[in-house]
Amino acid sequence: MNVLFEDGGKFHAGRILSEAEASLQVELDSGKRQKIKSAQALVRFDKPTPAELMAWAQAQQDGLDLDLLWEFAPEDEFHFDQVAADYYGGTPDAGQRAAILLRLFGAPHYFQRRGRGGQFRKAPATQVQAALAAIARKEEQQRQIEAFAAELGAGRCPPEIADKLYQILFKPDKNSPEFKAVALAVKQTGHGALTLLRQAGAIASPWAFHMQRFLLERFPKGTDFPPLPVPAFDAPLPLAAAPAFSIDDSATTEIDDAFSVQWLDDGQVRLGIHIAAPALALTRDSDWELVARNRLSTVYMPGDKITMLPDALVQAFTLEAGRDCPALSLYCTVGPELQPSAFETRVEQVRMASNLRHDQLDTLVTEQALDADPAAQPYPHARELAWLWRFAQALKKGREQVRGKPERAGGVDYTFRIDGLEQGAEAATVRIEPRLRGAPLDTIVAELMILANATWGGWLAELGMPGIYRSQSGFGANLRTRMGLKPAPHQGLGVAQYAWCTSPLRRYVDLLNQGQLIACARFGKTALLQAPFKPRDPLLFAIVESFEDTYKAYATHQSALERYWTLRYLAQQGLDSFDASVLREGAVRVDGLPLVFTAVGAQDLPRNTRVRVRISGTDLITLEVFGSVLTQLDTPQQATEPAAESDEEDDAVALAAPISVAVDSDEPQPEADAAVQQAS
């Protein structure tokens, strides 16, 4: 005797070896023996063989008319044998019974199972109609998916996929037919999604590709600000005693910091570091504070930026020349030995005398000019700048003593000037202007910002006021820079603690810390009672975690766009051969350009070896550079190994790798940190 039974939603047939009151021992054709309950035995038969019965029933069921079966099935609950008898007439054989059972079981939109004994109930007519419509839609969708995949495989991109191109690549709905079509085409052709779509002509603009990739991830609702009124603060502020001036690039609109210098009668100098004070109006959980908390930072990229705050709000607080601007000011007294003391923090208005632009003054404000007679210099605030230069050098020397070694000298920063971007990225031209790192104006700004951030961080800790700190510890490959809620040394800067406080118009951490500092300045030792954030506030922990992730993503996007425009620059200038230095893992850094790539022939050379390289091709989508070493310019013995790899080098090497997309794999997000640059 044989039996057809159901187990785990599947039907099997086998030979009955033994039978008890409530169970059977069955042997399948595979030789496997299985114990089943008597209720699972749905069809018993002598012949044909189990395999023959299953094959016949499965072939037969496809020809059974479901509409007809549903039409004459009883309205109440029924056994499948009833329908088999009505359909075939008389007494159906085992194969016919099995075919009916499989057909009823395989059509849940027509027939609902009622337990495991072969009982069914037909579905209501409205449910059947809805199910049939859904099946028809699914079948049509599948035909559409297959048609889309065929188009992609033939090198054509359907408009439906082109319209959702970036969503498919970077933030896909994996249940959408467009995504399924791309995934099917990838499987059928063996090409990656990016390659497939490029061959189909779907990606018309590499610049738009990189922008949309970033915007879908970080600004899925767009970059527009909500239509909220610009906030104001009512409390009158005293006016600072001395006018101030700022030092920024000409493209800077968010002027956060400025300086004032007063010569006192006793030969000492009173230095003021003045920071724009939007925290006066952007109180915790206010509408614009929530906007800033969501964005966390301004996003910078060549030729454009996405600001943390709207332009109208920035203009209300930016330290623009010719205005009295609300500011959080740090004052200190500096004697002839150039050691700061008697620190004081004030909330006040500062009269802005000038906005100096270092790209206009770098050629004038040189070390030689700063050491010469200020009265003979053609630039404004010459006396103040000369004193600030000496003071900044003293601050730097003191930090280097704490660090135990001098900061690495030299290095180049690059400014990207994109002309004609408003006409479209593909029509724009790029200029890359190198600028030696550590220029006098840069040093002045960086050292004063480090002084303010370290001093204010220490003051917050002294008063027990919560704040967000940035610390750095470890050596070489173990060097780690972290954000946290406890003051800790910043080894790279050589300070006991460091809290970002000097860029509140473009960085949320600074805005938060500024709100805490304003409470300290106004209420002193009782400030904790009035502070926006109290100790152990769970929101602080969430902000730290979110800020680190977001800031890293913004920096990665900036680096990617700088690499894109660098590759565009190579093409526009017709450049292909360069001198370079070997880094690691076969990567080389090109002289005079912000470009690192993996060069064939460099993988076995010691780090810092000088080579001549040739670039044979670039890819504006993946940001890959293809090149090789032409010749070695020095011997391995002449090449010197640097003491430790820098975070900046790690980022450059990481960015030299090609990008990937969501259809294929997740993209790594390298970390960026250049401490002294970030200080300013």
What average pLDDT does this structure show over 36-45? 91
What is the sign, positive or negative, of the torsion defined by CA atoms of 643, 649, 651, 655? negative
CA distances from 297 to 9, 157, 500, 512, 521 (A): 54, 37, 12, 12, 25
Is the pLDDT reported for residue 385 higher than 90?
yes
Structure tokens, 467 = 């704040």
Who has greater pLDDT, 637 or 31?
31
User: Is 489 buried (19+), middle (13-18) or exposed (0-12) by CB count in 10 A?
Assistant: middle
Using 50, 70 and 90 to split pLDDT, how confident is the model at 644? very low
Which residue ranges make up each domain of the chain? 2-122, 127-204, 244-554, 555-679
Residue 181 has pLDDT above 70, yes or no: yes
Question: Which pLDDT belongs to residue 203?
Answer: 87
- The confidence score (pLDDT) of residue 654 equals 53
Burial class for 453, CB neighbours closer than 10 Å (0-12, 13-18, 19+): buried
Task: Provide the b/e sequence for 327-366 (b: ≥16 CB within 10 Å).
Answer: bbbbbbbbeeebebeeeebbbbbbbbbebbbbbebeeebe
Q: Is the pLDDT of residue 219 over 80?
A: yes
Q: At residue 597, does pLDDT exceed 80?
A: yes
| DSSP letters spanning 65-118 | -HHHHHHHS-SS-EEHHHHHHHHH-SS--HHHHHHHHHHHHT-TTTEEE-SSSS
CA–CA distance, 473 with 475 (Å, rounded to integer): 7
Q: Using one digit for the tens of pLDDT, what is the confidence trace for 349-381? A: 999 999 999 889 989 999 999 999 999 999 999
Banded model confidence at residue 186, pLDDT cuts 50, 70, 90: very high
Q: What mean pLDDT do residues 208-214 have?
A: 92
- Residue 412 CA, chain-centre distance (Å), reads 26
**pLDDT digit string, tens, across residues 59-118:** 998 889 888 898 889 989 999 999 999 888 888 999 999 999 999 998 998 999 888 789
- Which residue in 553, 549, 637, 654 sits closest to 598, CA to CA? 654
Separation of alpha carbons 78 and 121, rounded Å: 6
Q: In the structure, what pLDDT confidence band is assigned to residue 663 with cuts at 50, 70 and 90?
A: low
The confidence score (pLDDT) of residue 250 equals: 87
Q: In which band, very low, low, confident or very high, does the pLDDT at 672 lie, cut at 50, 70 and 90?
A: very low
- The pLDDT score that the predictor gives to residue 404 is 83
Rg value, the chain, Cα: 36
For residue 658, the model assigns a pLDDT of 53
The DSSP code for 495 is B
Better pLDDT: 537 or 436:
537
Domain covering 555-679 assigned CATH 3.90.1150.10 in the classification:
no
Q: Long-range contacts: 423-428, Cβ < 8 Å, 24+? A: 424/205, 425/205, 425/207, 425/208, 426/205, 426/207, 428/303
The model's confidence at residue 8, banded by pLDDT at 50, 70 and 90, is confident
pLDDT reading at 673 higher than 50: no
**What band does 11 get if pLDDT is binned at 50, 70 and 90?**
very high
The pLDDT, as a whole number, for residue 21 is 87
pLDDT digits (tens, 9 = 90+) for 118-158: 999 999 999 889 888 888 888 888 999 999 999 999 999 99
What's the confidence (pLDDT) of residue 638?
53
Alpha carbons within 13 A on the beta-carbon side of 145:
21
Q: What local confidence, expressed as pLDDT, does residue 679 receive?
A: 41
- What's the confidence (pLDDT) of residue 645? 45
Give per-residue pLDDT as tens, 276-296: 999 999 999 999 999 999 999
Q: Counting beta carbons within 10 angstroms of the beta carbon of residue 398, is it exposed (0 to 12), middle (13 to 18) or buried (19 or more)?
A: middle
Whether residue 579 has pLDDT greater than 50: yes
> pLDDT tens, 395-408?
999 999 988 888 77
* pLDDT at 596 (0 to 100): 94
Q: What percent of the chain has pLDDT over 90?
A: 66
